Structure 1
Amino acid sequence: MNIKMSFMLRVFSIAVLMGGLALAAPPSLPSGLSDEGEKSSDSPSLPSGLGGESSEEKQSTSSPSLPSGLGGDSESDEQEESREDSQSDSFFDSGLTGLTGFLEFRSGWRLQNDEHQQDMSIGETRLQLEMEKYWEGITFAITSDIYYDWAYGGHRVDLERGEGFLDLREANLLFSPADFVDIKAGRQVLTWGTGDLIFINDMFPKDWQSFFSGRDTEYLKAPSDAAKASFYTDIANVDVVYTPRFDSDRFINGERNSYWNGMQTAGEDSLLRTEKPDQWFRDDEWAVRVSKNVQGYELAAYGYWGYWKSPSGQIPSTGEFTFNDLNVYGASVRGQVGAGIGNIELGYYDSRDDQDGDDPFAANSQMRYLVGYEQDLPQIASDLTAAVQFYVEQTMRYESYEESLPPGQESTIDQYRQLLTFRITKLYFNQNLTTSLFTYFSPSDKDVYMRPNIHYKVDDNLAVEAGANIFWGDYPYTFFGQFRDNTNIYTAVRYSF
C-alpha cells in the first residue's frame, strides 16, 4: 500500500505540474476556437457492453449509437449553474455527491468435467460503491468493489490482479487548467477504438478471467494507473495517456480457467509463471489518440509505446513467460453507412524483441484489420438490432517464424487468423427484457465462443440475469479451443441504488 500511495502522489504531482505549465504558458488557440467551440467528452465512448450500466442493458439501446460528437444533448444552463454552486462550497462543507452502487449475487457452474478446475466457475457477493466530489473546479471520483468470493476462497488483496476482497476500479482527480485542456490523474478505466469486444488500438488492460467466468461485461475493462491529458482544438482533439508502470491484462493463468501452456492443457495444478516489467518510470507506457469529426465521420489515429498486454514470449532457461516490447500504430473511421453505423480499424503491431521474426520465444510483429457494421432491423421486428464484424490478424515474416521452430515442431498459429463476430439483440416488455447473443467464430482456427444472455429489469432497482460462456474447438492450442472444457452457465441478481 505504501508503494501504491507513493505512485498516486507522484501521478498527482505530475498532473499538477502539467496543469501549472499549461496555465503559465498556454499555447495560442487556433483561429476560431472559443469557449463555445465543440468539446468532446472526457473519453471516447465505451464499446457496446462496457458502460457503467449492466452490460446487456447497455447493449440493448433501441438504435446503434452514433460516433462521438454526432449526437446527444448538451448540458443545460441549469445543470451548469448547479455544478458551479456545488464547486463553490468548501471541500468539507459540500460533502460527497452522486453516491451510487449496487449489491450483487452471482454464481456459475461448468457444464463439462474439467480435471484442471473445480465445478463452480464463479460464486461471489459484490458491493460496489461509486462516489464523486466537486470542489473549486476539481472532481474527485472513486469506485470500489468489495466482494466475497465463496467459490474460490480468499486471496490477499492485489489491486493489479483484482484479487482479494477489494477491487479498486477508480480513484482519480479531474481538473481543467485551461479551457482547452482536461487532465485526469489516478486509477481510471480507459478505452478507445471502434471494435465491439474486439480491441486493436485499445492497448489498455483487459480482465479476461472475468470475461470468461461469467462476470458482467463491464468488468472486461481493467483499471489503469495513469495520467491522461485531453486537448481540444478546432484542428483535432488529442488524448495523451502516460502510465508510469506497466499495467498488464488480467490474463488467463489457470486460476479460474484451464488454458494451453505451450505444451499441454493446464489449470490450477500448473499456474502460469511470468516475469513482468514492474519498475516505476522505467517500465512505463505511452498512448496517444488524435481524432477529428469530418462530415459526420469520426477519424482517429493512434500510437502506443509499451509492451504486449498479455504474455507473448518465454525464457527458455526458466520457462517463465514474458511481455515483449511493443509499439502499435493504427487508425480508424466510424460513421453512418446506409441505415446503420459502419467502422474500419487497423493497427500495426511492431514487436520490438523480434524484428526479424526468427525468434521462436518472442512474438512476431502483426498487422490487424477490422471491418464492422451495425443496424436496426424494424422491418423484421421492433427493438431488434444486429451487428457483424470481420477481423484478421496477419503474422509478419511468417516464413522466418516457421524456419525458427525446433525440428519436428509444427506451427500452432496461422499466417492469417480470421475471426467473424455476430451480435443480435432483441428487447421485450417495454424494453425491460433484453435477450442477446454474441458469437465469435474463427474459420482459420476452427473454434467458436458464444455469449447468450437474458437480462430482466424487474423495477428501477432490481434486475436478474442469466447467461453462458460456450466454447467449441477442434484443437486445444487455439485461442478459444483451449477453453473448451470451461463452458459454463451463470445467474445473477443485482440491486442498484
Structure 2
Amino acid sequence: MKIKKILLFLISTFTVQVSSFALDTELHGFAETRAGARTQDDPAQNQMSLGETRLQLDALTYFDAAELQIRTDFLYDGLQDDLHKIDLDRGTGFMDLRELNLLFTPIPSADVKIGRQILTWGTGDLLFINDLFPKDWNSFLLGRDEDYLKAPSDALFVSWFPAIGSFDFAYMPKFDPDRYVDGSRLSYWNGMDITGDEFTAEKRNEWFKDHEFSARFYRPVLSWEGSLYAYHGFWKSPVGYDLSANDYYFPRLNVYGASARGAVGNTLMNVEIGYYDSRENSSAFKNVPNDEVRFLSGYEREIGNELTAGFQYYVEWMQDYGGYSGTRDEFRHVLTLRLTKMAMNQNLMLSLFTFYSPSDQDTYIRPNATYTISDHWQASAYANVFLGEHDYTFFGQLQDNSNLGLSLRYSF
C-alpha cells in the first residue's frame, strides 16, 4: 500500500496538479519482465528477440463533468541502442505514452474523448479491414502481450447515440502510421532479398494537412449488429515507393466497408468487407498499391469443456491485376484458427492462434500458456513461429525471426 500511495502521488503531480480538483483517482498498473530468443540464426539481428523490464502506470481521475486518463509505460530495453531518445510515433525510448485523454459528455446523447487514446473497431480476430487505426507490428511479432498490437492515436473521438443508431467519428489531425517492420528488430524482404537494414519512410507529419478521418454507423439489425464504415487518409504502412526520391512513403487511401455480427444457435458469426480505394496511381516515378477488395468471415463456438474454437477466412482481391507486375497473386487467401482452453480452475489458459495462407504458402503460429499464480502474479510462455516457401511473402520473410520467450508480471 505504501508503494501504491507513492505512485499515486507521482501520477497526481504529472497531471499538472489538476487532481486537486478531482473527486477521486484510481491507479492501476503492472511491472513485467519479458525475455525472448530467436530459434534461428539471423546475422542481421541480435539472437535475443526481447530483453526488457516494463512498468505501466494507469491513472483515471474523475471530475464533476469529465474523466482524465493517463496510461504510461516506462521501459528498460537492453536491446535498444538509445533509450533516452523517445519517439512516440515509433514507440521507442524509455517511455511510451499509451493514453492521455479527457472524456466528457457535452449533451446527454453524445460522448467526446480528446487526446491520445487506443481506438479499435471491426469484427476480425487479429485480422483488420475497416480498423484503420495504427498497429504495432514489431511488438506483436516479437512476442509482447497481444494488447500491444494496438498502437495509440492522437485523436478527437465523438460518439453520438440518436434513436436511429449510433455514430462514431474519429479525427486525427496528424497521420498516425503503423509501427511497421523497419529492420531495427525484425528482418524483412526489401524487394530483392531479406535484410536487416533499417529504413525510415518519408513522414507525413504536417498537422491539419496530413490528417485522417474515420467514421462508423452501427445499429441492431434483427438479432445482429450491423455497421457501416468510412476512412479517409493514407495506407498505414509505407507500401508506396517514390523512385525520384528513392524513398518509401505512405500513399493516399480511402476505405469504405460494412460488417455484421451475431449469434446463430451456439455459434458466434461475423462477416466484414471493405473496398480499398488507393487514390494515387502508379507512374514512372511512383509505385503504389492497386485498389483492393477485402473480405472476412468468422465463426466461434465452444467445442468442449472450457475449450473454445474460432475460425476465420480472409481474402484480399487485387483490382486491375492485369497491369500488375509484382510477385503476389490476384487473390491472397488467409485462414486462421484460434483454440483457447481453460484449466486448473481457470488459472491456466492455453491458447493457439494460427495464420495459414494457401496462396502465399506461408504460416504463422502463436502458442501461449499463461498461469495465474495469485491475484497479483502471472507467468507466461510463448512462441512466434514463421514458415514459408518464399522469402517475399508476408510470413515467409520472417522465418529467421521465429522466437520463443517467458514473461513474469506483477499487477496492482
Counterpart in 2 of 1:258? 187
Q: Choose which of 220, 235, 239 in structure 2 pairs with 1:312.
A: 239
Shift in Å, 1:153: 3.6
Counterpart in 1 of 2:340? 425
- In structure 2, give the amino acid aligned to 1:299: G
Q: Distance in 2 between matches of 1:112 and 1:341?
A: 38
In structure 1, runs of 5+ residues without a counterpart are 1-89, 403-410
Q: Choose which of 118, 136, 139 in structure 1 pairs with 2:67.
A: 139
Shift in Å, 1:294: 2.1
The percentage of aligned residue pairs carrying the same residue is 48
Q: Does 1:206 align with 2:135?
A: yes
Shift in Å, 1:260: 0.5
Shift in Å, 1:95: 6.1
Q: Choose which of 288, 300, 318 in structure 2 pairs with 1:374.
A: 300
Q: Does 1:328 align with 2:232?
A: no
Counterpart in 2 of 1:112? 40
Q: Distance in 1 between matches of 2:139 and 2:176?
A: 17
Q: Distance in 2 between matches of 1:94 and 1:370?
A: 45
- In structure 1, give the amino acid aligned to 2:252: D
1:327–1:458 Cα change, 3 Å: same
| Aligned residue runs from structure 1 range 46-85, under 5 A | none
Counterpart in 2 of 1:29? none
Counterpart in 2 of 1:387? 310
- In structure 1, give the amino acid aligned to 2:271: I
- In structure 2, give the amino acid aligned to 1:132: L
Higher helix fraction (1 or 2): 1
Q: What CA deviation, in whole Å up to 9, does each residue of 1:255-312 have, x standing for no partner?
A: 0100011121111xx1123112110000000000000012221100000000000011
Q: What CA deviation, in whole Å up to 9, does each residue of 1:400-454 have, x standing for no partner?
A: 223xxxxxxxx31110000000000101011000001000000000000000000
Counterpart in 2 of 1:363? 289
| Contact in 1 for aligned 2:273/2:295 (Cα 8 Å) | yes
Q: Distance in 2 between matches of 1:210 and 1:412?
A: 27
| Aligned residue runs from structure 1 range 40-439, under 5 A | 91-92=19-20, 94=22, 96-155=24-83, 156-267=85-196, 270-354=197-281, 361-378=287-304, 382-402=305-325, 411-439=326-354
Counterpart in 1 of 2:14? none
Q: Distance in 1 between matches of 2:254 and 2:283?
A: 15
| Contact in 2 for aligned 1:261/1:272 (Cα 8 Å) | no
Shift in Å, 1:494: 0.1
Q: What CA deviation, in whole Å up to 9, does each residue of 1:198-257 have, x standing for no partner?
A: 000000000000000110000000000000010001101000000000000000000010
| Secondary structure class of the residue paired with 2:398 | helix
Shift in Å, 1:98: 1.6
Shift in Å, 1:154: 2.8
Q: Choose which of 398, 402, 412 in structure 2 pairs with 1:487.
A: 402
1:413–1:260 Cα change, 3 Å: same
1:487–1:171 Cα change, 3 Å: same
Q: Distance in 2 between matches of 1:366 and 1:374?
A: 27
Counterpart in 2 of 1:10? none
Higher strand fraction (1 or 2): 2
- In structure 1, give the amino acid aligned to 2:321: Y
Shift in Å, 1:490: 1.0
Shift in Å, 1:457: 0.2
Q: Distance in 2 between matches of 1:237 and 1:442?
A: 36
Q: Distance in 2 between matches of 1:360 and 1:306?
A: 18
Q: TM-score, normalising length from structure 2?
A: 0.93
Q: Distance in 2 between matches of 1:473 and 1:170?
A: 37
Aligned pair count reads 394
| Secondary structure class of the residue paired with 1:275 | coil
Q: Distance in 2 between matches of 1:163 and 1:252?
A: 13
Q: Distance in 1 between matches of 2:118 and 2:265?
A: 33
1:117–1:195 Cα change, 3 Å: same
Shift in Å, 1:334: 0.2
| Contact in 1 for aligned 2:23/2:63 (Cα 8 Å) | no
Of stretches 258-267 and 383-392 in structure 1, the one that deviates more from structure 2 is: 258-267
Q: TM-score, normalising length from structure 1?
A: 0.78
Shift in Å, 1:115: 1.2
1:357–1:468 Cα change, 3 Å: farther
Instruction: Tell me which stretches of 4 or more aligned residues in structure 1 moved more than 3 Å.
Output: 93-96, 356-360
Q: Distance in 2 between matches of 1:293 and 1:141?
A: 30
- In structure 2, give the amino acid aligned to 1:125: T
| Secondary structure class of the residue paired with 1:274 | coil
| Secondary structure class of the residue paired with 1:298 | strand
| Secondary structure class of the residue paired with 1:132 | strand
| Secondary structure class of the residue paired with 2:324 | helix
| Contact in 2 for aligned 1:458/1:464 (Cα 8 Å) | yes
In structure 2, runs of 5+ residues without a counterpart are 1-17
- In structure 2, give the amino acid aligned to 1:92: S
| Contact in 2 for aligned 1:439/1:448 (Cα 8 Å) | yes
| Contact in 2 for aligned 1:359/1:401 (Cα 8 Å) | no
| Secondary structure class of the residue paired with 1:377 | strand
